[in-house]
Amino acid sequence: MIKELAGLKTVCLNETKDAVVILDQTLLPEKEIYVSLFTEQDIWDAIFKLKVRGAPAIGIAAAYGIYICSSKIKTSSFEQFYNEFCRIKVFLSGARPTAVNLVAALDRMERRILLNKEKSVPQIKQELLKEALAIREEDATACRQIGENGLALLRPGMGVLTHCNAGHLAVSEYGTALAPVYLGQERGFGFKVFADETRPLLQGARLTTYELQRAGVDVTLICDNMVSSVMQKGWVQAVLVGCDRIAANGDVANKIGTSGVAVLARYYGIPFYVLGPTSTIDMQCPDGKSIVIEERHPEEVTDMWYNRRMAPEKVKVYNPAFDVTPRELITAIITEKGVW
């Protein structure tokens, strides 16, 4: 854990284990406000509104969330408990469709119930807590290993470009795309990071620069339309991005704009690395065309989301939250189990 980020708890359980506590990322970088989520609606809203965001963090929030909701189910009947659990699972899995970690974490929680269905409901609730905590700890371990595997492909003093936020704030701790940067920081690699602002919700401007600055990493914020220029100047020697769903053929869904960065990296001969845990690989999804791309409210584009409107009333807007980078544009996919 980067000591300067240790105080930033993306998602955790409260002491009494009856609420999920998240750092409300819609208020960053101006305010560090933690909110407690007690109900399925609280959790759904927090995920949909990106108060908690990033594929792994969404999965952990859902796992903790369905645990606290299930712990409040008042019945000793397995059938009644399981039916109510499944209702909550369907509800939470509908919050955001693209990041596979959300539904994958909920599936893991359901499997834990079915593996223990001979036990009493109180015992099953304890099994759910263990599974949720395991999901979180496995993610933290994976992120650290992703850092090691990623750093092995980088050199001290490199300029690296990243898109959106795939750092500490997108996972349990440490990050995926930024994990090698943090590890490099600990080992004196002196990376120079270029962070795309990442319209329309500005995860790069608001979150990536915030956490990198806090960790003392050299970071420069650029507009999304400056990537080509920065690459053309020779300031970038590697691109590091996260992922929300990796299809069986290696196509990757990530924040909108990622595929454009990949095209530019290919043009300028710069390695383009996708970093993420194997929990983001979806072998049931054959290729990028099969990935459901979340589309969000037009106001995120028309309004300067955080203070004023930027386009005429009723203008038609297309606001996909992600795009797909084809495997052929990806130099390597770096996971905790190795490089693909």
Of 102, 111, 20, the C-alpha closest to 59 is: 102
Which one of 23, 37, 51, 53 is in contact with ligand LNRAV4D5 (CB under 6 A)? 53
Q: What is the distance between the alpha carbons of residues 27 and 33, in angstroms, rounded to a whole number?
A: 7
Residue 155: alpha-carbon gap to chain centroid: 25
Report, in Å, the least distance between residue 55 CB and ligand LNRAV4D5.
Answer: 4
Q: What is the distance between the alpha carbons of residues 290 and 50, in angstroms, rounded to a whole number?
A: 24
Enter the tokens of residue 51: 């108060």
Candidates 54-62, 187-195, 209-217, 331-339; binding stretch for ligand LNRAV4D5 (CB under 6 A): 54-62
Q: Which helix (H) or strand (E) holds 296?
A: none
Residue 108 among known ligand-binding residues = no
Q: What is the distance between the alpha carbons of residues 253 and 322, in angstroms, rounded to a whole number?
A: 6
Report, in Å, the least distance between residue 237 CB and ligand LNRAV4D5.
Answer: 20
Q: Sheet with 252-255: list strands edge to edge.
A: 281-282, 245-247, 252-255, 322-325
Candidates 2-10, 37-45, 125-133, 239-247; binding stretch for ligand LNRAV4D5 (CB under 6 A): 239-247
Q: What is the distance between the alpha carbons of residues 245 and 254, in angstroms, rounded to a whole number?
A: 7
Residue 54 among known ligand-binding residues = yes
Q: Is residue 80 classed as helix, strand or coil in its secondary structure?
A: helix
Ranges within 278-337 binding ligand LNRAV4D5 (CB under 6 A): 321
Which one of 37, 54, 64, 82 is in contact with ligand LNRAV4D5 (CB under 6 A)? 54
Would you say 49 or 233 has its CB closer to ligand LNRAV4D5? 49
Of 156, 155, 195, 157, the C-alpha closest to 175 is: 195
Which candidate in 42, 139, 196, 244 is catalytic? 244
Ranges within 183-222 binding ligand LNRAV4D5 (CB under 6 A): 203
Residue 171 contacts ligand LNRAV4D5 per CB under 6 A: yes
Q: Given the structure tokens 């069986």, which residue do they identify?
A: 248
Of 311, 198, 213, the C-alpha closest to 260 is: 198
Residue 203 among known ligand-binding residues = yes
Q: For residue 244, indicate whether it is catalytic.
A: yes
Q: Given the structure tokens 């090698």, which residue do they identify?
A: 180
Which one of 154, 170, 183, 270 is in contact with ligand LNRAV4D5 (CB under 6 A)? 170
Q: Which residues partner with 245 through β-bridges?
A: 253
Would you say 55 or 291 has its CB closer to ligand LNRAV4D5? 55
Say which DSSP state 292 is in.
P
The contact mask relative to ligand LNRAV4D5 for 148-167 (x = CB under 6 A, - = no) is: ----------------x-x-
Which one of 176, 208, 209, 335 is in contact with ligand LNRAV4D5 (CB under 6 A)? 176
Residues 142/277, Cβ–Cβ less than 8 Å: yes
Report, in Å, the least distance between residue 23 CB and ligand LNRAV4D5.
Answer: 14
Residues contributing to the site for ligand LNRAV4D5 (CB under 6 A): 50, 53-56, 164, 166, 170-171, 176, 203, 241-242, 244, 254-255, 321
- What residues are labeled active site? 244
**Which residue numbers belong to the known binding site?**
53-55, 96, 203, 254-255
